[in-house]
Structure 1
Amino acid sequence: MMKFLNFSLTAVLLSGLLTVSSPANATIVLFKTSMGDFEVNLLDNDTPETVTNFLAYVEAGAYSNSIVHRSMPNFIVQGGGFIYNGETDEVEEPVTFDPVINEPVFSNVRGTIAMAKKPGDENSATNQWFFNNADNSANLDNQNGGFTAFGVVTGNGMEIIAAINALPRYNLAGAFDNTPLQNVPAEGVPVTDEHLVMIESVTVINNNKDTQPELPPLADVDPVPVPPEDNDSSGGGSTGFLLLSALVGIRLFRRN
């Protein structure tokens, strides 16, 4: 067994996070990751509340040095909720804004980014997001009022996301029960940012909100939420997307 880094409950007081009131309307953001960089075209005009919420975290630097903490093969790649502190080698949870209203306009097809949220509360999305690495419309368009797809990956971005999705996954406990690792540390060596898939930064590169990508299909949302069939398969999206429980102590991990 190999030991995982020590988790901390200390909240990260991100500069400006609680005071951002009117973030710039931006349509294209750049994700810089340890696996490669790619662009996402945001759907400002159709999901304005969700895009405004996402950009507030971007402007506050909330996604810098954050972790891709969950990956489900041929399903989703999830991040945005945990930051790696290189000075302390701890994973910390940032302070979050109030939840954003759900805007399930577009279908959760492959190549879209959507907001994660708590089960049983369709208006509970805050800082966590996920990329759909498959056509998850039959599942996620109907769960919990539908998951809000608010952007489209462009260029070769899906190749990078698919590469992350193909990495071996390890159970590091808590919200990190399906965490992809780029490489595995030697016996007795803790997991650090050298092993995790890191989101180095998310920045605005085009602030013209009218830039229009090829739109995903519209969602046909069932007003009655459909419960997941299997928390470890396509249904894993709703129950595991936003975990706010404590993560403390040194954890042992195993490959899934």
Structure 2
Amino acid sequence: MIKKSSVKTLLTGSLLAFSLVSSFSHATVVEIRTSLGPIQVNLFDNTTPKTVANFLSYVNSGAYVNNVVHRVESNFVVQAGGFNYSGKFPELDSVATGTPVQNEPKLSNLRGTIAMAKLGGSVNSATSQWFFSLANNSANLDVQNGGFTVFGQVIGDGMQVVDAIAAVNRFNAGGALASIPIRNYTTADANNNVAVTENNLVIISDIVIIDATVATHPEIVPANNTLINSSNNGGSNSGSDSGGGGSFAWLSVLALIGLGRRIYRS
């Protein structure tokens, strides 16, 4: 069995100047280059300017080079932005994070949107982690933990790639990696101590700006979050932080039950 090893912190100083996000170029379209293909995302610069600026600060710093898609929940979310692969698994480097960004829950968490992950019970705690919605998650995520900030939408055939990632078998490597997609790998491989390599993980090689115009794709009209201000907004229904330890026993996707539909960052 793969032995337990803590996720180590990436010691870099490149992200310590996040207060200077205004110096970064605003971009409407970025391309997330994954092992299974590119995903183009139209960012909502004008609707969620603080969140877009925060995300682009990580993009421009190179924080997402060799980033790992570390969480998939079927018919719910695909999550990344927190950990980078540097040659070993399950040891991953945590992305160095800056000052959390103020929550901007203006848009609805529908299928194909990208939104920021947060600490459980902390509304303004988003830093580097983000997720794609695989389904209409508005009833949950538009209100949970103060609402989750949607800051972009997948365009073109990008959701085919997102769905392909979601279809990869998942394993429990403990802690924040409790539902990580691992390609071309079986429970028998894990039981026989077959090493997981870069070729098995869903890796984001980089995220790059492909259109720096602030107002492209005017045909995209995102749905507003109409639930956040309702009297029964469920703000106390916050996800718990799963950044702690846990067993590194490997389980097939069929054994991953009871994880709940909550969003958190580690």
Q: With the length of structure 1 as denominator, give the TM-score of the two structures.
A: 0.87
Is this contact kept in 2: 1:36–1:160, CA < 8 A?
yes
Q: Distance in 1 between matches of 2:245 and 2:94?
A: 10
Q: What are the ranges of 5 or more consecutive residues in structure 2 without an aligned counterpart?
A: 257-266
Pair 120,170 (structure 1): closer, same or farther in 2 beyond 3 Å: same
Q: Contact 2:175/2:243 (CA < 8 Å) preserved in 1? A: no
Equivalent residue for 1:234? none
**Higher RCO (CA-CA < 8 Å; seq separation 6+):** 1
CA distance in structure 2 between the aligned counterparts of 1:192 and 1:99, rounded to whole angstroms: 32
Alignment partner, residue 142 of structure 1? 143
- How many residue pairs are counted as aligned between the two chains? 242
Q: Does 1:203 align with 2:202?
A: no
Alignment partners' CA distance in 2, 1:122 and 1:88? 31
Contact kept in structure 2, 1:104 and 1:146, CA below 8 Å: yes
Identity of aligned residues (%): 44
Partner residue, 1:13: 11
Aligned to 1:254: 251
State the 1:225 CA deviation: 2.9
Q: Supply the AA of the counterpart residue of 1:253.
A: W
Shift of 1:127: 0.5
Distance in structure 2 (CA, Å) of the matches to 1:37 and 1:29: 10
Q: 1:35 to 1:4 in 2, by over 3 A?
A: farther
Aligned to 1:216: 222
Whole-Å separation in 2 of the counterparts to 1:150 and 1:218 = 12
Equivalence map 1:173-188=2 (5 Å):
173-184=174-185, 186=189, 187-188=192-193
Per the alignment, do residues 84 and 128 of structure 1 end up closer, same or farther by CA in structure 2, a change over 3 Å counting?
same
Aligned to 1:100: 101
| CA-CA distance at 1:43 after TM superposition | 0.3
SS in 2 for 1:90: coil
Q: 1: distance between equivalents of 2:17 and 2:142? A: 32
1:225 alignment partner in structure 2:
234
Amino acid of the structure 1 residue aligned with 2:222 = P
1:43–1:212 Cα contact (<8 Å) kept: no
Structure 1 position 87, deviation (Å): 7.1
Return the TM-score normalized by structure 2.
0.84
TM superposition shift of 1:88: 8.6
Q: Give the aligned partner of residue 233 of structure 1.
A: none
Cα pair 2:145 2:239 within 8 Å, conserved: no
Q: Do residues 194 (structure 1) and 199 (structure 2) align? A: yes
Residue in 2 aligned with 1:31? 32
Cα RMSD of the aligned pairs, angstroms, is 2.2
1:86 CA drift (Å)? 2.1
- Structure with more strand by fraction: 1
1:215 maps to amino acid: V
SS at structure 2 position matched to 1:78: strand
Measured in 1, the distance between the counterparts of 2:153 and 2:215 equals 14
Cα distance in 1 for partners of 2:33, 2:3 equals 25
Mark the CA change 1:191 to 1:41 in structure 2 (over 3 Å): closer, same or farther.
same
- Distance in 2 of aligned mates of 1:48 and 1:254: 40
Larger displacement relative to structure 2 (20-29 or 196-205): 20-29
**Partners of 1:181 and 1:104 in 2: how far apart?**
32
